[in-house]
Amino acid sequence: MKYRQLGSSGLLVSEICLGTMTYGEQNSAEDARNQLDYAVAHGVNFIDTAEMYPVPPRAGSQGLTEQYVGRWLKGVARDKLVLATKVTGPARGYDWIRGGPRIARRHIEEAIDASLKRLQTDYIDLYQIHWPDRNVPMFGQATFDPDAERETTPIAEQLAVFAGLIKAGKIRHIGLSNETPWGVCQFIRASEQAGLPRVASIQNAYSLINRVFESGLAEIGFREKVGLLAYSPLGFGVLSGKYLAPSGTGRISLFPGFGQRYGKPNVNEAVRAYSELAQKAGMAPATMALAYVRSKWFVSSTIIGATTMEQLRQNIDSAEVELSPDTLREIEAIHARYPNPAP
């Protein structure tokens, strides 16, 4: 396993990050422990979770994922790990979280204290805003809607709260998630103008069927030293090829209406083309998809998720795979035919 510096933070993170959002829904506490043990034994030092998890979110299970991770965390060397979690943003209808979550002082302070308690740790290495406090297109939406504007906490005020948490020793670094180019630039500008903490990372979707990060955010990441934590590198499992002949056991099959971006036109056509290319290159489609994401210069870590140990082993093993120039050229040819079908 190789390690990369996360933005300007000084944190060294494994190229593979273990995502945990299925813990408490599709995976039991024992499953979680086995996955975490296996990942760390194979060089993974980076664990990502969120106060909102597991998914799909609901009041009865919210926080279970952090609890499962926390039980495991008690028995391991905390200082050898980079632990990331997230504070929930507004406008998703999750009123059971603080009566309607916001990225404002009371909400952030309540969220971090609850996460620390569930995770049974004194500090979080990377604390992320799960999605912006302001109105933005998210999760498959393609167009900004000015009519959806709402009250929001100024970015400088958000950063000031995080500065206090860093001073108190509760968090070490901050990151963004599901953020836009404008948003990242505004966070950087506010930190420079007011001497507030600088964002180290952005956790956005990135995969063979969703490469929109490349057009604007990649340049910002390069010039401002903000690393990408690529989530959904397999597009909710779509890029494994399993939905080309649905088994009824995947997340999209189990939770209808979840992951709508993967039902858009040309998704199946693109996935079929990538699957055929992977087979031609002598590897599983999931392995090629993960190796492609990991190969990109702007990706600090690729967040994997698994519901079985077999999936986890395959995903972690992908860290040893390097794609040939011919395979990379053929990937670009497919991308030219089916550009970003699942943005």
At 134 the pLDDT is 96
Residue 29 lies in a domain: yes
**Tell me, what's the pLDDT at 295?**
97
> 46 — phi, psi (to 5°)?
-125, 120
274 in Cβ contact with 335 (< 8 Å): no
pLDDT of residue 139: 74
* pLDDT tens, the chain, 343 aa long: 999 999 999 999 999 999 999 999 999 999 999 999 999 999 999 999 999 999 999 999 999 999 999 999 999 999 999 999 999 999 778 999 999 999 999 999 999 999 999 999 999 999 999 999 999 988 767 789 999 999 999 999 999 999 999 999 999 999 999 999 999 999 999 999 999 999 999 999 999 999 999 999 999 999 999 999 999 999 999 999 988 876 656 666 666 666 666 777 899 999 999 999 999 999 999 999 999 999 999 999 999 999 999 999 999 999 999 999 999 999 999 999 999 999 9
Q: What is the CA radius of gyration of the chain?
A: 19
Say what the pLDDT of residue 72 is. 98
Residue 260 in domain:
no
Report yes or no on 279 lying in a domain.
Answer: no
Q: Looking at the domain assignment, is residue 70 inside a domain?
A: yes
- Residues of 32-49 as b/e, b for ≥16 C-beta within 10 angstroms? bbebbebbbeeebbbbbb
Q: Compute the distance between CA of residue 305 and CA of residue 69 in angstroms, rounded to an integer.
A: 14
Tell me if 191 is assigned to some domain.
yes
**Parallel, antiparallel, or unpaired: how do β-strands 82-87 and 46-48 relate?**
parallel
Query: How far from the centroid of its chain's Cα atoms is residue 96's Cα?
Result: 23
- Return the half-sphere exposure (C-beta side, CA atoms, 13 A cut-off) of residue 5: 8
Q: Is 127 a catalytic residue?
A: no
163, amino acid identity: A
C-alpha torsion angle, residues 161, 165, 166, 170 (rounded to 10): -160
Domain-located, residue 123: yes
Output the CA–CA distances (angstroms, integers) from residue 176 to 89, 143, 302, 321, in the order listed: 11, 20, 15, 29
Residue 261 lies in a domain: no
How many alpha carbons fall within 13 Å on the CB side of residue 184? 26
Please report, for the domain that includes residue 44, its CATH number: 3.20.20.100
Residue 341 resides in a domain: no
- pTM, two decimals, is 0.96
Q: What is the pLDDT of residue 248?
A: 54
A 10 A CB-CB count for 137 gives 14
Which structural domain range is residue 307 located in?
3-238+292-321
Beta strand spans in the chain (E): 3-5, 12-14, 16-19, 46-48, 82-87, 124-129, 171-177, 199-205, 227-231, 299-304
Residue 248: how many CB atoms within 10 A of its CB? 6
Determine which one of 3, 23, 53, 68 is catalytic: 53
User: For the chain, how many structural domains are there in total?
Assistant: 1
**Closest by alpha carbon to 318, among 6, 23, 34, 15?**
15
